[in-house]
Amino acid sequence: MCAQATDPRFAGLPAVPGKILAVHLAYESRAAQRGRRPAAPSYFLKPASSVATTGSEVERPAGTELLAFEGEVALIIGTPARDVPLEEAWSHVGWVTAANDWGLYDLRAGDKGSNVRNKGRDGYTPLGPQLIDPRAVSPAGLRVRTWRNGELVQDDTTADDHLIFPLAQIVADLSQHLTLEVGDVILTGTPAGSSVAVPGDVIEVEVDAPDAPGAPSSGRLLSRVVEGAGDFDPALGSLPSVDDLQREEAWGDRAAAGLPPTPGPVLTDTLRAKLLEAPVAGLSQALRQRGIRSIFIDGPTSDTPGAKLVGTARTLRFVPLREDLFQKHGGGYNAQKRAFDAVQPGEVIVIEARGNAGSGTLGDILALRAQARGAAGIVTDGGVRDHAQVASFDIPVFSQGAHPAVLGRYHVPWEHDVTIACGGATVQPGDIIVGDDDGVIVIPPALAEEVADATLAQEAEDAWIATQVQAGHPVDGLFPMNAEWRARYETETGADPR
């Protein structure tokens, strides 16, 4: 079968693809690298105008920095597929080849999850150069490798224990939602090792089946990175922008991106255990004694009485509603969703909603996402939708109560991982958040160990005083203790003199 000869971009393909469908995340190695493992496959579309052939140039627009390559196995549909069962799905694949799913991370935030601009640019889907007959290979026996300037940087297989979603499952799943037509291309995800390329780099991708008879191969799909025009018009749409999170994800890790290593945890297991035992009232007193008074997050209370909250802050900021800004920032993969996707085990999502409880700042789905990510809790000075369901989850949530309205009533999700004001308190990423039935406070990390120890010592002292009061002693001279009572306390308990 010959490709459309009128356009050299499709010269190596059996037909001009009507659709290019790409899987977001499919390899175990990539999921481990990203710190998230999806429960089901998810997809995005790329335009046919992004297709290129081997030897083509890939442009990185001037002024941008994060053009990333992703070597992938590409499936090309040979017979139409609609609602096909899993056991028949592979028979609808007509050809297998190599792909490079290029993406410009500088445009990722503006795309809000659609990938239209960052992955849909001309030349960003090279395919080929040779086609593999799927009948001659096992869908679990393919290998994908990528070289950057001759150095092997990606090497993985489609074995069942390497893929989260087997290739046949991807075909069957897509077919239950839309008709896969002859020539349609499915990009099946990239393994770990995807990284950034710069002008002058040469990237090669090969898909083969080394254990199949004849070891069929796609041959090496070659792309040369060049600098292109970067004159984006701000009047037409969002401009390229990057932050350290995008740099880390584009390069693959912080070290490769030239970023300093993530500091070790201030909130150690030992310190966490102390803070779980220490009451918020006692901690606030210890902070006040050290000159730190403005640490109360006023307004939020526990949605589940009796819950204790301890964790490091991961912040999210809402700004007041402005309809034109909500249209740009309220939908898609917005700052709210990015924050809940990025939260790490032991962190607390702290939300600035300006004390406005007149709409929900999260609901059951996002609370479940935080719980699945291992978050230590959520604090918001706004409201919570699906309040009863959220309160039933195994994650502490402190809020100003229930409200059924969505964000667009009062809020625009604006940014995350920045300094915010929640309930009148300044909260920075990495601050230690502690909450109980008395409320929520912010503890500067440098003081946390000292404050926790002082609070627990005071709690032991207060417990001893309580036993004396129960025994009938008057509080005068006992609470607080005078020299006589303190000497008795130290003698009976062995407490260190202060």
Q: Encode pLDDT of 50-86 as tens digits.
A: 999 999 999 999 999 999 999 999 999 999 999 999 9
Tens digits of residue pLDDT in 428-441: 999 999 999 999 99
pLDDT of 4 strictly over 90: no
Evaluate if residue 496 carries a pLDDT over 80. Answer: no
Inform me whether the pLDDT recorded for 28 exceeds 90: yes
Residue 333 is predicted with a pLDDT of: 85
Averaged pLDDT of the chain: 93
366 labeled part of a ligand binding site: yes
Q: Is the pLDDT of residue 1 over 50?
A: no
**CA-based radius of gyration for the chain:** 28
Q: β-strand 397-399 against 411-416: which pairing, if any? A: unpaired
Supply the pLDDT for residue 6.
Answer: 72
Whether 178 has a binding-site annotation, put simply, is no
Q: How confident is the model over 171-205, as pLDDT tens digits?
A: 999 999 999 999 999 999 999 999 999 999 999 99
Give the model's pLDDT for residue 345: 93
The pLDDT assigned to 467 comes to 92
Q: Report d(CA 8, CA 53) in Å as an integer.
A: 8
pLDDT in the model for residue 495: 73
The per-residue pLDDT for 3 is: 47
* Per-residue pLDDT at 264: 63
Question: Is 365 labeled as ligand-binding?
Answer: yes
CA distances from 335 to 104, 259, 403, 464 (A): 19, 22, 21, 49
Amino acid letter, 240: P
Say if residue 363 carries a ligand binding annotation. yes
* % of the chain surpassing 90 pLDDT: 82
Evaluate whether 4 touches 47 at the Cβ level (below 8 Å). no
341-351 pLDDT per residue, tens: 999 999 999 99
Domains of the chain by start residue, with CATH = 8-251 (3.90.850.10), 294-443 (3.50.30.40)
- Separation in Å, CA 220 to CA 74, 450, 475: 13, 60, 85
Instruction: Give me the pLDDT at residue 2, please.
Output: 47
Confidence label for 388 from pLDDT (cuts 50, 70 and 90): very high
Residue 180 burial (CB count, 10 A): 27
Q: What is the pLDDT of residue 498?
A: 55
> Where does the pLDDT of residue 35 fall: very low under 50, low under 70, confident under 90, or very high at 90 and above?
confident
Residues in the chain, how many? 498
Residue type at 220 in one-letter notation? R
CA–CA gap between residue 463 and residue 482 (Å, rounded): 16
In the predicted structure, residue 265 carries a pLDDT above the cut 80: no
- Tell me: the pLDDT tens digits for 364-380? 999 999 999 999 999 99
Q: Is 386 annotated in some ligand binding site?
A: yes
Q: Cβ distance 151 to 197 under 8 Å?
A: no
Q: Is 336's pLDDT higher than 60? A: yes
Q: How far apart are CA 221 and CA 52, in angstroms?
A: 10
Q: Is the pLDDT of residue 328 over 90?
A: no
Distance CA 371, CA 353 (A): 21
Question: Residue 486 corresponds to which tokens in the numbers above?
Answer: 């303190």
CA dihedral in degrees (360, 365, 366, 369; nearest 10)?
Answer: 160
